[in-house]
């Protein structure tokens, strides 16, 4: 039987990446990246007029998603030299909750002349945190009303999610709220562009839109309690038809098939979330294993047969990651982003020159220098809250902290302390799972960081005291999407009957594994105690200085 | 009557500076700087052998002090074209406690072949903090024994002072302790080199060697309780003959007169401390006015007719600053040093390039950018403990902290937060004085910072809520030393009968004055409350994380 192929597209924060893989064994035949022309929009809109954005805003341009398809898919076809007729499936995954308002035709409101200078007409990226006031009020109201759904989300709805983002639009730009025919996850919007049909997926809806298979969305009274305008939100501007992962959304529209140079027969899977799609792509399909997608942020995913209440997880959704399991998600809202911030803002000229002379990146130079340090040698300790704390505190108003500086503190010491802080953050999440009866024995890593920074991975192993295995594919989410594409195509067309058989055949691990070193682990145990104490002091209301400072800061916005 | 002149030399941390001034009005005729060839020795000894130094060590080379005299004095003579016969006085001031062990001839032990590779044979600079274990034990023993002297020093003896530094030598290098004929302040040692006589001054002895006019040094039993070897310390290796400020120590030795190209008749005043000598040089000779010498660190001085117990002041000595007053000293152990650390370690390449393009220093660029920010706009807050906390906590084991960082935090925001933190530190000191009944109505500033950074001065005014006046002379300590030289020469030789008349005639203020701005002050009042809370939490034992981290760090030394 001739080989079949599937394409996966991973829509990230800065770029989109397409991979073309062989269905038989998951081998990557070709890949292509498209860097979003407007990237993350966080200071001003990409329009002629000067439209500045407030603190905590993060937008995107939906055109960048289409351009990713138009540029990257033809490129992988050309590079691979695969006959397009042998491409049987296409899957996509996305950052989430990344959402936008669209009109009756599904056209983004930011494309309209009369709305393009209104920031609320644009895509709100996952890390848009300006809906924190709405999230805070939503949580208060939900607690007052005794809404059961809070339990499914670790006790708090994040400002990153759909309902707070929609509410921010309703409050700050009622004209956009009214003009929006629908609010959609960008993931589902792209699927609609590809297939012409609206098929919202269970992952984004379950994890980010307060929906569950058993109970649906919150009721009308709840939405009315938030804002009378939002009473009919679900009926008017969302949808209650929710589709399972691996289901086929449809075939390509004629126009899209032409643009992408693919046959119309390609089966397009319903969309997925970048982190969840990675779970089967790192071979994980059972409990006891935590998958970490490590990049600008970290998403942590665990499967379990039962529902437990775990503090500060961002969601626990039946069938949300793999069918037949409760899928738990937790997250750290900034990890690689913190190191990037450090490199952009805190590394002196002479280090830049040294990296240049050695022909290595500044991250590599810092890793080299920091790797010479022992745990605890710098005397530094940090709280990794540069972008708030998603798990386990679910509080976007928390901010970063570093202490222990002396006049001899070096940049590499700070860099290492920031890495350690993110590892402590992960350990805190693991502890929350374990304290709630969800066992975690091994860690599985994918995303950009595990391949870039060995020191970081060793620190994570030492801090958590757990072995870490690494996905064989560096394009794990895209591979996972291609796997879902192969499932959408189905066995008869040369794909797979379900995601488990796809995972078994298409996913793999690197031979190299990170094991915790005893001596380092024992020092990190002490440092982690200090981290925990500061975590609780600043994060659990004992001293809300970070929030009070943010309040003062907001007076200037 | 023909004009007379006096020379003052200010021995700083990195360099020594001589000024030649006209006695009639204090006008600066010439000045010259000598940068110490071995600067601050904090990583390895300046000898052929590789002798690394531990964390918190800070040494100097005594040869640098003599070179300062040999190079800077002939230079001011030449530049000024003043007839050396009209030079009537010479005064010096020094960092303190900066101390060294010397032999019977007064020769530093580090000059000896058999001791030069022993770090304990070198000058221990004021900011050598490696005697913290000794200081901690000393304070415990003093408390147990109910030693009255603790009260004079805010309740704690600092690791920077003479007895902990000597004790560190006794414990870690008994051979140096035994070989030392005397332990001397570098200030008194330089006077001994100039005049051939040992005349220890009341300032360094009172403030740094636990001596007072009324009670002398602590008794033999106390020293024996520290360490049996030290029972005879005072009799054997110190001196009980203490001389008042403005007294004449002697005339120049023939050899010195020749080297310096000065007549032997020049009256050399007993040495002084850099900060104290500045008080009359900024016109202050009465209570209610706090003098701040603002440079790498800040020294705060206040005069009062009575003795009060003020928390965390570093000393309260009768006649210690000006005759007839109790002189109070408090201090912040790092101020400019923190900004220098920041510039060296945390400013990105593009800022360096921007400063270069604008033809300004990186400090100036940061000031320019930071001046555009409003109080509280960054959401940042810092604890200014990069070099421990001298006042009011007297604890060298405390370390720096900064919180409030987000992914949008910029270098200038951090820079400004560091400046604000040092201003909060000053306010904390002012509050300690005021809470103990020592009123402070105005601030008087000298040192390097007030002339370099207007934004910083305005922040200090806004944070403290007090007006700040600035010394007319940018070489305030050197001017103060020259004033003491003129007093040592006496009225008959064309000088002054006392420091008060010298101050009246020779000192002055700039016209420009910094007044607190109401709006900024009111925001800073809120931020200061947050600072105070963190100050107490981390500084008063509620969470000793900084000390525990230092302990772990010390395991690697």
User: Under an 8 A CB cutoff, do A349 and B347 touch?
Assistant: yes
| pLDDT score for A439 | 93
E strand segments, B242-297: 242-243, 248-251, 267-269, 272-273, 288-294
Q: Identify the domain containing residue B20 by its residue range.
A: 5-275
A29, A82 in Cβ contact below 8 A?
yes
CA angle A450, B402, B543 (to 5 degrees): 95
The DSSP 8-state label assigned to residue B395 in this structure reads B
Within-domain flag for B121: yes
Strand order in the sheet with B182-185: B59-60, B123-124, B99-102, B182-185
pLDDT over 70, % of chain B: 100
B277, B506 in Cβ contact below 8 A?
no
Which residues have CB under 8 Å from A467's CB, separation 6+?
A442, A443, A461, A513, A514, A515, A516
| pLDDT digits 0-9 by tens, B475-501 | 999 999 999 999 999 999 999 999 999
* Cβ neighbours of A381 in B, within 8 Å: 545, 549
Which of A349, A380, A400 is facing B352, going by the closest CB pair? A349
What is the enclosing helix (H) or strand (E) of A251?
Answer: strand A248-251
User: Under an 8 A CB cutoff, do A556 and B404 touch?
Assistant: no
| Phi and psi torsions of A261, nearest 5° | 60, 40
Q: Please tell me the distance in Å from B418's CA to the nearest CA on chain A.
A: 12
How far the first Cα of chain B sits from its last, in Å, is: 63
| pLDDT score for A2 | 85
Which of B337, B352, B404 is facing A407, going by the closest CB pair? B337
Q: Please tell me the distance in Å from B513's CA to the nearest CA on chain A.
A: 28
Within-domain flag for A432: no
Q: What is the bridge-based pairing of β-strands B267-269 and B248-251?
A: antiparallel
A13, A355, A378, A407: which to substitute to probe chain B, counting the most B Cβ within 10 Å? A407
Single out the residue of A80, A234, A195, A208 nearest to residue A135, CA to CA.
Answer: A208
Collapsing DSSP to helix, strand or coil, B26 comes out as coil
> How many CB atoms are closer than 10 A to CB A236?
12
Q: Confidence class of residue B38 from pLDDT cuts 50, 70 and 90?
A: very high
| pLDDT score for A1 | 63
Cα gap A347→B346, rounded to integer Å:
5
Mark out the alpha helices in A90-240 (DSSP H runs): 132-145, 149-152, 162-172, 174-179, 186-195, 202-208, 220-226, 233-237
Cα gap B499→B280, rounded to integer Å:
7
Distances (CA, A) of A53 to A59, A333, B375: 9, 20, 21
Which of B348, B408, B553 is facing A55, going by the closest CB pair? B408
Q: Taking the C-alpha atoms of B27, B32, B38 and B42 in order, what is their torsion angle to the nearest 10 degrees?
A: 30
| pLDDT score for A314 | 84
User: Under an 8 A CB cutoff, do B341 and A550 touch?
Assistant: no
Single out the residue of A272, A103, A106 nearest to residue A189, CA to CA.
Answer: A106
Within-domain flag for A514: no
| pLDDT score for B248 | 97
Token pair recorded at residue A135: 């999230």
User: Under an 8 A CB cutoff, do A556 and B374 touch?
Assistant: yes
| pLDDT score for A104 | 96
What is the enclosing helix (H) or strand (E) of A487?
Answer: helix A476-489
User: Under an 8 A CB cutoff, do B399 and A376 touch?
Assistant: no
A552, A554, A555, A556: which to substitute to probe chain B, counting the most B Cβ within 10 Å? A552
Token pair recorded at residue A217: 């969305």
Cα gap B391→B292, rounded to integer Å:
13
> How confident is the model over B138-142, as a mean pLDDT?
97
> pTM here?
0.86
Handedness of CA A389, A390, A395, A396 (dihedral sign): positive
* Cβ neighbours of B14 in A, within 8 Å: none
Q: Taking the C-alpha atoms of A473, A471, A69 and A110 in order, what is their torsion angle to the nearest 10 degrees?
A: -150
Q: Please tell me the distance in Å from A346's CA to the nearest CA on chain B.
A: 4
| CATH number of the domain bearing residue A34 | 3.30.420.40
User: Under an 8 A CB cutoff, do B533 and A543 touch?
Assistant: yes
Give this complex's ipTM: 0.85
Single out the residue of B184, B142, B54 nearest to residue B394, CA to CA.
Answer: B142
Within-domain flag for B450: no
Within-domain flag for A89: yes
Q: Taking the C-alpha atoms of A83, A84, A88 and A93 in order, what is their torsion angle to the nearest 10 degrees?
A: 120
* Cβ neighbours of B407 in A, within 8 Å: 334, 337-338, 341, 386-387
Single out the residue of B343, B438, B333 nearest to residue B386, CA to CA.
Answer: B333
Local confidence pLDDT in tens for the 557 residues of chain A: 689 999 999 999 999 999 999 999 999 999 999 999 999 999 999 999 999 999 889 999 999 999 999 999 999 999 999 999 999 999 999 999 999 999 999 999 999 999 999 999 999 999 899 999 999 999 999 999 999 999 888 788 989 999 999 999 999 999 999 999 999 999 999 999 999 999 999 999 999 999 998 899 999 999 999 999 999 999 999 999 999 999 999 999 999 999 999 999 999 999 999 999 999 999 999 999 999 999 989 999 999 999 898 988 888 889 999 999 999 999 998 999 999 999 999 999 999 999 999 999 999 999 999 999 999 999 999 999 999 999 999 888 999 999 999 999 999 999 999 999 999 999 999 999 999 999 999 999 999 899 999 999 999 999 999 999 999 999 999 999 999 999 999 999 999 999 999 999 999 999 999 999 999 999 999 999 999 999 999 999 999 999 999 999 988 87
Which of A401, A523, A550 is facing B552, going by the closest CB pair? A523
User: Under an 8 A CB cutoff, do B344 and A344 touch?
Assistant: no
Within-domain flag for A98: yes
Within-domain flag for B316: no
| Phi and psi torsions of A16, nearest 5° | -115, 145
User: Under an 8 A CB cutoff, do B341 and A402 touch?
Assistant: no
Mark out the alpha helices in B26-99 (DSSP H runs): 63-80
Which residues have CB under 8 Å from B551's CB, separation 6+?
none
Distances (CA, A) of B510 to A555, B293, B507: 36, 15, 11
| pLDDT score for B1 | 63
Residue B509, burial from CB neighbour count under 10 angstroms (0-12, 13-18, 19+) = middle
Q: What is the mean pLDDT of chain B?
A: 96
User: Under an 8 A CB cutoff, do B538 and A352 touch?
Assistant: no
| Phi and psi torsions of B315, nearest 5° | 180, 155
Instruction: Domain count for chain A, please give it.
Output: 1
Looking at the DSSP bridge assignments, the partners of residue B445 are B292, B470
Q: Please tell me the distance in Å from B325's CA to the nearest CA on chain A.
A: 35
The DSSP 8-state label assigned to residue A97 in this structure reads T
Tokens 């965390």, residue located: B312
CA angle B66, B69, B73 (to 5 degrees): 165
Single out the residue of A307, A283, A325, A261 nearest to residue A507, CA to CA.
Answer: A283
Q: Please tell me the distance in Å from B393's CA to the nearest CA on chain A.
A: 16
| pLDDT score for B173 | 98
Cα gap A159→A455, rounded to integer Å:
32
Cα gap A188→A166, rounded to integer Å:
16
Residues listed for chain B: 557
Single out the residue of A426, A495, A488 nearest to residue A456, CA to CA.
Answer: A426
Cα gap B233→A58, rounded to integer Å:
67
User: Under an 8 A CB cutoff, do A553 and B379 touch?
Assistant: yes
Single out the residue of B476, B469, B471, B394 nearest to residue B429, CA to CA.
Answer: B394
> How confident is the model over B525-536, as a mean pLDDT?
98
The DSSP 8-state label assigned to residue B41 in this structure reads B
A168, A134 in Cβ contact below 8 A?
yes
| pLDDT score for A306 | 93
Q: B222-253 burial, b if ≥16 CB within 10 A, otherwise e? A: bbebbbeebbebbeebbbeebbebbebbbbbb
| pLDDT score for A313 | 87
User: Under an 8 A CB cutoff, do B553 and A55 touch?
Assistant: no
Single out the residue of B445, B452, B426, B423 nearest to residue B514, CA to CA.
Answer: B445
CA A272 distance to own-chain centroid: 11
CA angle A281, A287, A291 (to 5 degrees): 40
The DSSP 8-state label assigned to residue A127 in this structure reads T
Single out the residue of A530, A537, A456, A362 nearest to residue B553, CA to CA.
Answer: A530
* Cβ neighbours of A404 in B, within 8 Å: 399-401, 546, 549-550
- Omega before A97 within 30 of 0, i.e. cis: yes
> How confident is the model over B273-292, as a mean pLDDT?
96
User: Under an 8 A CB cutoff, do A405 and B387 touch?
Assistant: no
Residue B396 has pLDDT above 80, yes or no: yes
Within-domain flag for A436: no
Between A and B, how many CB-CB pairs are < 8 A? 171
Cα gap B399→B546, rounded to integer Å:
6
Residue B154 has pLDDT above 80, yes or no: no
Q: What is the bridge-based pairing of β-strands B400-405 and A400-405?
A: antiparallel
CA angle B447, B452, B458 (to 5 degrees): 90
């Amino acid at each position: 039987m001739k080989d079949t192929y599937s394409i996966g597209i991973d829509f990230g924060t800065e770029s989109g990446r397409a991979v073309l893989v062989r269905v038989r064994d998951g081998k990557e035949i070709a890949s292509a990246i498209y860097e979003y022309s407007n990237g993350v929009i966080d200071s001003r809109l990409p329009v002629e007029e000067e439209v500045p954005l407030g603190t905590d805003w993060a937008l995107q341009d939906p055109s960048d998603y289409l351009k990713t398809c138009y540029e990257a898919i033809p490129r992988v076809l050309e590079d691979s030299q695969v006959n397009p007729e042998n491409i049987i499936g296409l899957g996509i995954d996305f950052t989430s909750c990344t959402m936008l308002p669209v009109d009756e035709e599904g056209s983004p409101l930011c494309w309209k002349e009369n709305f393009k200078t209104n920031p609320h007409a644009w895509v709100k990226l996952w890390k848009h945190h300006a809906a924190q006031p709405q999230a805070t009020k939503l949580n208060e109201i939900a607690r007052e009303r005794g809404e059961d759904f809070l339990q499914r989300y670790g006790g708090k709805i994040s400002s990153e999610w759909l309902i707070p983002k929609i509410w921010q639009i309703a409050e700050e730009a009622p004209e956009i709220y009214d003009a929006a025919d629908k609010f959609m996850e960008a993931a589902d919007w792209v699927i609609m562009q590809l297939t012409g049909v609206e098929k919202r997926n269970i992952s984004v809806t379950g994890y980010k839109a307060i929906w569950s298979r058993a109970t649906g969305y919150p009721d009308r009274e709840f939405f009315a309690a938030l804002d009378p305008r939002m009473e009919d939100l679900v009926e008017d501007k969302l949808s209650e038809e929710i589709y399972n992962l691996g289901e086929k959304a449809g075939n390509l529209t004629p126009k899209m098939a032409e643009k992408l140079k693919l046959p119309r027969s390609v089966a397009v899977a319903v969309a997925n979330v970048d982190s969840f799609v990675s779970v089967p792509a790192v071979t994980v399909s059972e409990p006891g294993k935590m998958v970490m997608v490590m990049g600008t942020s970290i998403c942590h995913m665990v499967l379990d047969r039962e529902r437990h209440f775990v503090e500060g997880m961002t969601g626990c959704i039946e069938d949300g990651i793999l069918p037949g399991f409760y899928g738990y998600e937790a997250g750290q809202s900034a990890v690689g982003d913190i190191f990037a911030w450090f490199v952009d803002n805190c590394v002196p000229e002479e280090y830049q020159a040294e990296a240049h002379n050695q022909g290595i990146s500044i991250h590599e130079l810092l890793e080299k220098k920091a790797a010479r340090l022992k745990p605890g040698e710098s005397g530094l300790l940090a709280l990794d809250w540069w972008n708030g704390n998603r798990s386990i505190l679910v509080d976007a108003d928390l901010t970063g902290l570093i202490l222990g500086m002396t006049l001899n503190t070096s940049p590499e010491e700070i860099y290492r302390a920031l890495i350690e802080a993110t590892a402590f953050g992960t350990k805190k999440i693991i502890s929350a799972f374990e304290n709630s009866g969800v066992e975690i024995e091994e860690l599985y890593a994918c995303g950009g960081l595990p391949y870039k920074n060995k020191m970081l991975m060793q620190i994570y192993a030492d801090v958590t005291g757990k072995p870490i295995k690494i996905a064989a594919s560096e394009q794990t989410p895209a591979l996972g999407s291609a796997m879902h594409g192969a499932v959408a195509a189905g066995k008869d067309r040369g794909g797979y009957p379900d995601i488990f058989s796809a995972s078994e055949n298409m996913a793999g691990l690197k031979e190299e594994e990170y094991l915790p070193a005893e001596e380092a682990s024992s020092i990190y145990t002490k440092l982690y105690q200090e981290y925990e104490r500061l975590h609780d002091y600043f994060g659990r209301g004992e001293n809300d200085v970070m929030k009070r400072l943010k309040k003062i800061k907001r007076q200037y916005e």
